[in-house]
Structures are given as structure tokens and as C-alpha cells.
Amino acid sequence: MNAPVLPGSLVENPRLDRWIAFLPDRTVRVATGKVEIGQGVVTAIGQIAADELDLPLDRVVVLSGNTDAGPDEMYTTSSLSIEMSGGSVRLVCAEVRAKALERAALRLNCSPDDLTIEAGQFLQNGAATGQDYWSVAGEIDLSQNVTGTAPVKPASAYKIVGQSVPRFDLPAKVSGAAYVHDVLPENVLHARTLRQPSRGATLAALDEAAIRRAAKGELQIVRETNFVAFVSPVESVAQAAAVAAEQHATWNDVRPIAPAAQEAAWLKDQPAEDRPIGAPPSTTAPKNLAQITVSRPYVAHASMAPSCALARYHDGQLAVRSHGQGMHPLRKNLAAALGLPIEAITAQHLHGAGCYGHNGADDAALDASLIAVRIPDRWIRLQWRREEEFAFEPVGPAMLVTLHVDLDGKGRPVDWTTEIWSATHTQRPGSGSGYLLATEALANPPPEVKPADPTEARGGGGTRNAVPIYDVPAHRILHHLVQRGPVRTSALRGLGALPNVYAIEMLMDELAAKAGEDPLAYRLSILSEKRARRILELVAERANWKARSTGGSGQGLGLALARYKNRAAYAAVAAAVTVQETVKVDRVWAVADAGLVINPDGARNQLEGGIIQALSWTLKEQVKLDAQGIASRDWDSYPILRFTEVPEIEAELVDGAGNPSLGVGECTVGPTAAAVGNAVAHALGVRIHDMPLTRERIMAALLKT
Amino acid sequence: MSIALTVNGVARSVEAPETATLLDVLRNRLGLMGTRYGCGLEQCGSCMVLVDGQPVHSCTREVGTVARRAVTTVEGLGSADKPHPVQQAFLDEQAGQCGYCLSGIVMSTKALLDRNPNPSRADIVAALDRHLCRCGAHQRILRAVERAAATLRGAA
């Protein structure tokens, strides 16, 4: 028999005891390298383990993001946690279950086939044996490597998987301390930083006396080259010092920014690496060319909480608590930045506010650690200021997308070129494309790296979802990876999927109009993928597409479709809008196919959240720049969708039909934006290509009609 | 100076400057971590508490102004083991993702339902519009408020 192909997480972390432990309190601890960022993954991992081990859910404890005892699964990204970590936990639990049955069978002098497990108790032909996981646990060698050969349960045997189990973490979050922000160890010192305004900027002068006067309390000022931190036993003192420091610091060599760089159009004239992907250039001249250009500006993660971390350096060991997306990568990155051996660092994930991608979480962990090694033996609680969070988090890059599509005599695409201009979508530290922020402020800052995007094999960055889901004989991408954006950019929910799907699905409506056909019928005529057809037809039914008006009345109905990364969950979205001076989204319908769904209500929550966040980006959001950098530094200058603006949403998952689980967290983002874009075009009779769809853009579009 | 106030029904005396924010006092002097810092600018609502039953942004409210008044935080409603009906309704609806905005929203909900036991959807939206939620749990939150209202009416 050939060895089974193991998920990457098991290849990297083969020992069973990295994943599972039987605890004396008669629970089983299952470990995952993926972390809770509001998406419910820890609960879902627990469900998978409980079912595979035949345990009640309350006997399963999930250890998440722990560098001491848990597996290294890199970052919690790309809607991969259920596929990668869930798949690994399932194989590990199946194997440990089989080993436990073997041991019990030896004790009972029977065949493992005579044994079943109910709530962790081993039964022989249905009768109690007195044996259970914990009675044989000492005889199971968990230092062995996983083989992946133990059969996993068929989906038909699941009792807990597929149930809408309530999230483990919510009770604490509505009633008290729950986040890394809420941990106050004894004698903790509070810290804030003064950020280097840009890479290369040097601190010429800092009026420490003035800062101390403003801080009004016990204060230590930690300075290391261009890194500055204010540390106090009193949080408000550290905060006041950092606020005052902005006025009392003089910086040289600050890189100026051209405010025009805040618009996506600026990208087109910038030096770029041109990356041709897909079909070779067409050798024939286009006969019937259709084109569309769309844009999306820089958008922020804009987490509800500023980034925060705790660190303590004691006896040469650094302990870190962080809400970052990957504790093992953080540990490696901290070791490199601090010059410590990796064994000297432990990192444990604690909850933070939702991050939706690479925000300031990892950077705050380095800030806290830099202070901790200079003030040893005390816990340091470092929190960014609100304005620091907006100004220094890496933002989602602006994108400009142009489609050049040659059509046949019936108006169907025969040759398709997608041209994309964007800065990088990944500057995650340790990935070779970026650094922890404070390293740039230290002596010997790391060299600037040549920007790279996630590879096509990993779903691409700027090119994510650039390949249309429709039947297109020849498709190519020309990706202009802009070498230096005005601000730090990195991964934000969906990466390039939103602008790419916006472009594709807006063009679909235009091509349908050109052909004199209904947008739904036109799409279906060039859509072979059965799973995509099914959800597109379903969403049209839910939205009563048949009754759609001829348009131009100020009321619009639009739809859009995509399969996230062309390999994760499928989502079709319809949106009904009313457009007067602004766009009001009245209702959204979504249908998704995510294969086997572990927790249906949790998955729906993710669909809904993706829809609302995408509405917010599409209608309202743009990071504003001035000569100093990011100028939108609070919620007034960076408004997001509010309770008064959120539409009714009906989000639905079709049954998995025996298909494996597909990540669901990002699948609605692109289709939501495009459905709104199409609905607005239907309402107005004119299309708005540039996001966000603001009042100014509506008025400009209306003037054209 | 010493400031006397009632927090979650208990008389407390805290040593703090009058200009310290109520949020700072709750978290750093009284150890009540359920009230969260979001923006410090009254823009996001994460820090909402009740002062004499009225929702107040604790991030900017100077503690001196609440001397001898009654302050209520999420800890004063219920605990993870014994949630208040409002908290229970949020759990029943799984009305949250990261949850950071929720304790403030729970407090605004409590204030709303105290003054209007049978709010319309529009009343709820109006009461919560000063809260931001970045994860997009809005519709669940609105349903949770409706559920809490129904539970509390039933219990009354």
C-alpha cells in the first residue's frame, strides 16, 4: 500500500503529541496552529476532534497558537484552516482512536473490531468494559509519527460535525475579560510607542523633559536608535507621554508622499515588475473587443481594538502573548529581530479584535518584546494608540484592473486578457517580503526587499480570482506588480479577489447588454461548472430575478458569482439597491457551496460578515494620504458601514453533496462588491467603475445620463 | 484624590485624579476588564457603560463627574456562567464574531430595553447606531436585541 499523502501541517508536525494529549481531568487536549480571529475556527476544530474520537464536545479542549506544545501551521490565512488544520486533526484523532482501541483490545483479550466507543467509554459488543481513553492513555505512544493510514469516519457518521454548535469563546466576550488587552499580570508596566514616521526617518531630537511634564507620572523612556517607547506603571501616563511625544520629536529624512498616490490611477505610471501568466499573447488582432477598467483604493483592516501584546523577559527567556495570526512564525521573527535563539522564546495566542488579515498585531509583539528585554523581569503590556493603528497598520493595496476581451459573433468571450496594477498583497514578516515594523527603526535596519506577491499556487495576491469562472478559450494575465507603493501594504481579506471579481462580473453584465440578453441567462450560457451554476440559479430564485425591472428607475437588482481563489468555496450574491444621491443597499441574498460544513451557523456568520465588510469597502472606504502618510486616523475620517446602513441579509449554504470542506471566510467578498456594482448600474443606467461608490461618484455618473 | 462611586451595585472608593477617564478607572483600578478601549474618541462605542442607567462613553468621561453615581458594566449584568437575559440573547443568536464591540452594545441594549421594553427594529437601529462592528455581525445583533426584549417582557 502506498503511504497516503498527508496535509502539509502533518508533514511539518508529524508527531502525534504535537496534536493531542489525554489530560488527567478526563479531557482530551487537541492542538491547532490556527487561531481564533472571530471566525469560530477553534470551536470547529473541537467539533471535528470530538466526532472522530467519539467524545462529547465538552471533553475536548482546544489549545490554539501555542509554540510550546502545539503544531506550527504558519499563519491563519486564506480560508485554509478547516481544510488544513481540520483535515490534520481529523487524521490524528482517527489514528489515536485506532491505537486506543488496539490497547483496549489487548487488555480485554478481544479484537478491536469487537469494540465501539461511546462518550469516550469503550464498549464490547455494546456492553461496558470499564476501559476508556484515559485508562489506556499511558500505553499509547504519542511520540510516534502520524501515518495517516487509520480510516476516518464517513460523513454519514458525524454527530457533532454539521451541527451549529455555539462558539466556545463568546460567553467570556459578552461578560468580562476575554482579550490579550485584558490581561494585567502583577506589577505590569504599560507601554506606548512613538513611531518612526517612515522607513529611513531618523530621530534628530526628542524633548524628553517636555514629554515627562506632559506625562505627569512615573515614566521610563526607552530609546534604541529610532525606536522610542514610553513605559509606566500607570497606563494613562504612558499614553499621555506618547501623545505628547508627537509634538516633541524632530525627525529627519522622512520620506514624503505624493497625496495623489492615494488614488489607484497613480499605480499605472509606477515602476513595476511585469508578470505574464497564462495563455501566450494572442497572435491575431481582436475582432470585437470589449474593455472595462475598475479600481479599488487602499483600504484598512480597521480592527475595533488597537494592536496589543504582552512580553516578559526573564532568565534569558522571552514569553510573549499576542493576537497575531501565527505564533510559530512570530516566534521565528522575534528571534531574528531580537538576536535571541528561537528556543528562548515562547508565544501564546490570546484573543484580539477581528483582524481580517495582516494588521499591526505582530508589530506590537515586537514592540513589547524590545521593551521587555531592556526592562527584564516585568510583564510589559504594549498597546498601540488608535491613531497609530490607523496610520501604521499595513493596508490592503489599491488596485487597477483592466479587462480586454475579444468576442465571437454571438458576443461570447474567445480571448481574454486581464491587466492588473497593484502593490504587493503580502509583507508578512518572515515570508521574505516584509519585516516586523520596529526593525526598521533599529540600528542596521533590514534591507528593503523586492516586493513579491503570494504565488499563483497559493491563490495569488493581485491576481487572486483574476481567472474568470466562465468558459473562456484563452485567458492570460498581465500583472504589473508595482515596486514601491506609497504606504506599507499587505494581506487583507480576499486580497485581489474583490477588485478582480468586480471587474469580471461588471463586464459580464455589459457583455449581456451588448448581446441583448439577460445577465443571468448570459452567464449561464458560458458556465459549465455545475456547482457554480447551481448556486447562481438558486440566488436568482431567492432574489426573484425573474421579476427584475428594466432598470433606470433608481431601484436596481444585480448579481455576481465567483469561486474564491478559483479553488475554495463558491458564492453567488444578489443585491437590491435604491440609488438617490447615495447608494442604499436594501437587501442581499447569498448562496454558497462550501462542501462539508463543520458548523453551519458559524459558516453563515462568516458569509454575512464577508458581505457586510465588502459592502463597507465598496460603498464607503478609502485610506486617505497626505504628505506625512496615512491621514485617515480615526473613525470619522475612515467611516465604515453602520447599523443604519446594513441591509437585510439572507445567507444560505447548499448541502455539501459529499464534497470536502472548502474555506468560506472570504468567498462572499468579491461577489458582494460586484452584485452592488451591477445593481447600481441597473438602478442608474450608468456604470460606476471606481470604488468606493460615493455620493460624488453617483452625482458624476448621473450627470452623464 | 478619593472618589466615591457605586459600581455594579457596590460602593467603591478609588484613588484617582478627577480627570482620569472612567474607562481607565474601571479597567486599571477596579479590574473590570469587560469594558473595552476602542478609540478614545466616542466614535466606536466599545467602551459604553451605564451611568444612572444612561449609556455613556467611558473612554472620555472623567471619573470626577460620576462621583456618587451608579455605574454599571457588563460584569454587573451577569457572568459567563450566569449571563443576564441580554447577554444570553447574544449567545443564543451567536451575535458576534471577534466580539470586541459586544460589551458596549450589550450595555446600550440594556439601557434601551429598560426605557422601551418593546422596541421596533428602527428603535433598535437608532439605539445602536453609535456602535461600530467591524466583523459584520449587525443583523445577528439586531435579532439578539429583539430576542432579549421578548425574554425580558416574558419574565416581567
The CATH number linked to A344 is 3.30.365.10
Q: What's the CA gap between A171 and B74, in Å, rounded?
A: 11
Q: What's the CA gap between A169 and A172, in Å, rounded?
A: 6
Same domain, A196 and A160: no
Chain position carrying cell 474601571: B26
**Min CA distance, B26 vs chain A (Å)?**
12
Same domain, A427 and A490: yes
Say if residue A141 is exposed, middle or buried (CB neighbours under 10 Å; 0-12, 13-18, 19+).
exposed
Q: What's the CA gap between A262 and A258, in Å, rounded?
A: 8
CA dist list (Å): A671 to A325, A561, A609, A674, A699: 25, 5, 13, 5, 24
Q: A637 and chain B: CB distance < 8 Å anywhere?
A: no
Taking contacts as CB-CB distances below 8 angstroms, the residues of chain A near B106 are: 174
Taking contacts as CB-CB distances below 8 angstroms, the residues of chain B near A173 are: 96, 98-100, 102-103
Contact residues for A97 (Cβ-Cβ < 8 A; gap 6+): A52, A53, A54, A117, A150
Contact status, residue A433 vs residue A333, Cβ threshold 8 Å: no
pLDDT of A596 reads: 96
Q: What's the CA gap between A320 and A157, in Å, rounded?
A: 41
Q: For B29-71, write each residue's pLDDT tens digit.
A: 999 999 999 999 999 999 999 999 999 999 999 999 999 999 9
Query: Per the CB < 8 Å rule, is B83 touching A175?
Result: yes
Contact status, residue A465 vs residue A497, Cβ threshold 8 Å: yes
- The full 3-state SS of A73-125, as one line of letters, equals CCCCCCCCHHHHHHHHHHHHHHHHHHHHHHHHHHHHCCCHHHEEEECCEEEEC
Q: Which residue of A has its CA nearest to B22?
A: A236
Contact status, residue B129 vs residue A637, Cβ threshold 8 Å: no
Q: B148 and chain A: CB distance < 8 Å anywhere?
A: no
Nearest C-alpha neighbor of A20 from the set A29, A12, A11: A29
Same domain, A435 and A314: no
Same domain, A370 and A499: no
Q: Please identify, among A169, A202, A217, the residue that sits at the C-terminal boundary of a domain.
A: A169
Neighbours of A619 (CB within 10 A): 23
pLDDT of A4 reads: 82
Radius of gyration of chain B (CA): 15
Confidence of residue B122 (pLDDT cuts 50, 70, 90): very high
Neighbours of B62 (CB within 10 A): 16
Q: Please identify, among A169, A195, A221, the residue that sits at the C-terminal boundary of a domain.
A: A169
Residue of B78, B96, B134 with shortest CB distance to A302: B134
Instruction: Report yes or no on A244 lying in a domain.
Output: yes
**Min CA distance, A33 vs chain B (Å)?**
18
Instruction: Report yes or no on A319 lying in a domain.
Output: yes
The size of chain B, in residues, is: 156
Residue of B24, B98, B103 with shortest CB distance to A236: B24
Taking contacts as CB-CB distances below 8 angstroms, the residues of chain B near A177 are: 33-34
Nearest C-alpha neighbor of B55 from the set B142, B132, B133, B114: B114
Percent of chain A as helix, strand, coil, to the nearest 5: 35, 25, 40
Is pLDDT of B155 > 90?
no
Query: Per the CB < 8 Å rule, is B125 touching A643?
Result: yes
Q: Which residue of B has its CA nearest to A603?
A: B97
**Range list of H helices, chain B:** 22-24, 74-77, 85-92, 102-115, 121-128, 138-155
Q: What's the CA gap between B133 and B103, in Å, rounded?
A: 11
Same domain, A568 and A668: yes
CA dist list (Å): A117 to A86, A102, A131: 21, 12, 10
Mutate to test the interface with B, among A174, A184, A492 (most CBs of B within 10 A): A174
What is the span of the domain harbouring residue A355?
A: 187-253+301-392
Is pLDDT of B156 > 70?
no
Instruction: Report yes or no on A513 lying in a domain.
Output: yes
Q: What's the CA gap between A272 and A270, in Å, rounded?
A: 6
User: Do the strands A380-383 and A189-194 form a parallel or antiparallel pair, or are they unpaired?
Assistant: parallel
Nearest C-alpha neighbor of A675 from the set A576, A532, A600: A576
CA dist list (Å): A72 to A328, A339, A359, A701: 6, 21, 20, 51
Interface of B with A in 69-88 (CB under 8 A): 74-75, 77-81, 83, 87
Q: What's the CA gap between A111 and A66, in Å, rounded?
A: 38
- Does the domain formed by B85-155 have CATH 3.40.50.1000? no
8-state DSSP, B9 = T
Interface of A with B in 64-93 (CB under 8 A): none
Does the CA dihedral A185-A189-A194-A195 come out positive or negative?
negative
Q: A353 and chain B: CB distance < 8 Å anywhere?
A: yes
Contact residues for A449 (Cβ-Cβ < 8 A; gap 6+): A432, A433, A434
For the whole model, what pTM was predicted?
0.97
The C-alpha cell at B103 is: 460589551
Query: Per the CB < 8 Å rule, is B74 touching A175?
Result: yes
| Domain spans of chain B, in order of start | 2-77, 85-155
Contact status, residue A626 vs residue A257, Cβ threshold 8 Å: yes
Interface of A with B in 332-351 (CB under 8 A): 351
Q: What's the CA gap between A530 and A537, in Å, rounded?
A: 11
Q: What's the CA gap between A475 and A481, in Å, rounded?
A: 19
CATH of domain B2-77: 3.10.20.30
Instruction: Report yes or no on A182 lying in a domain.
Output: no
Instruction: Report yes or no on A279 lying in a domain.
Output: no
Same domain, A104 and A220: no
Nearest C-alpha neighbor of B8 from the set B87, B55, B75: B75
Same domain, A462 and A512: yes
User: Do the strands A249-252 and A308-314 form a parallel or antiparallel pair, or are they unpaired?
Assistant: unpaired
Taking contacts as CB-CB distances below 8 angstroms, the residues of chain B near A167 are: 94
Contact status, residue A449 vs residue A481, Cβ threshold 8 Å: no
Q: What is the largest CA-CA distance in chain A?
A: 86
Nearest C-alpha neighbor of B48 from the set B119, B117, B127: B127
Average of per-residue pLDDT across B62-89? 98
Same domain, A224 and A312: yes
The C-alpha cell at A166 is: 455555539
Residue of B28, B101, B132 with shortest CB distance to A235: B28
Instruction: Report yes or no on A284 lying in a domain.
Output: no
Nearest C-alpha neighbor of A634 from the set B57, B43, B4, B99: B43
The C-alpha cell at A437 is: 515594523
Nearest C-alpha neighbor of B132 from the set A393, A588, A634, A584: A634
Taking contacts as CB-CB distances below 8 angstroms, the residues of chain B near A237 are: none
Instruction: Report yes or no on A326 lying in a domain.
Output: yes
Mean pLDDT per 10-residue segment, chain A (705 residues): 83 97 97 95 97 98 97 92 94 98 96 96 96 97 97 96 97 98 98 97 98 98 98 98 98 94 97 97 94 98 98 98 98 97 98 97 98 98 98 98 98 98 96 92 93 95 98 97 96 98 98 98 98 98 97 96 97 98 97 97 98 98 96 98 98 94 96 98 96 96 83
Query: Per the CB < 8 Å rule, is B90 touching A640?
Result: no
Q: A186 and chain B: CB distance < 8 Å anywhere?
A: no
**How many domains is chain A built from?**
3
Residue of B94, B102, B132 with shortest CB distance to A605: B94
Q: What is the largest CA-CA distance in chain B?
A: 45
Query: Per the CB < 8 Å rule, is B91 touching A171?
Result: yes
User: Do the strands A413-422 and A474-482 form a parallel or antiparallel pair, or are they unpaired?
Assistant: parallel
Same domain, A380 and A408: no
Same domain, A558 and A478: yes
Quick check: ipTM above 0.85?
Answer: yes
SS3 A646: coil
Same domain, A673 and A637: yes
Q: B24 and chain A: CB distance < 8 Å anywhere?
A: yes
Same domain, A352 and A425: no
Contact residues for A7 (Cβ-Cβ < 8 A; gap 6+): A83, A84, A87, A88, A91
Neighbours of B8 (CB within 10 A): 18
pLDDT of A78 reads: 85
Instruction: Report yes or no on A176 lying in a domain.
Output: no
Contact residues for A245 (Cβ-Cβ < 8 A; gap 6+): A194, A206, A211, A228, A230
User: Do the strands A583-593 and A648-653 form a parallel or antiparallel pair, or are they unpaired?
Assistant: parallel
**Min CA distance, A244 vs chain B (Å)?**
16
Sequence letter at residue A606: Q
SS3 A170: helix
Q: Within its chain, how far is the Cα of A83 from the centroid? A: 15
Nearest C-alpha neighbor of A571 from the set A521, A525, A535, A609: A535
Contact status, residue A195 vs residue A335, Cβ threshold 8 Å: no
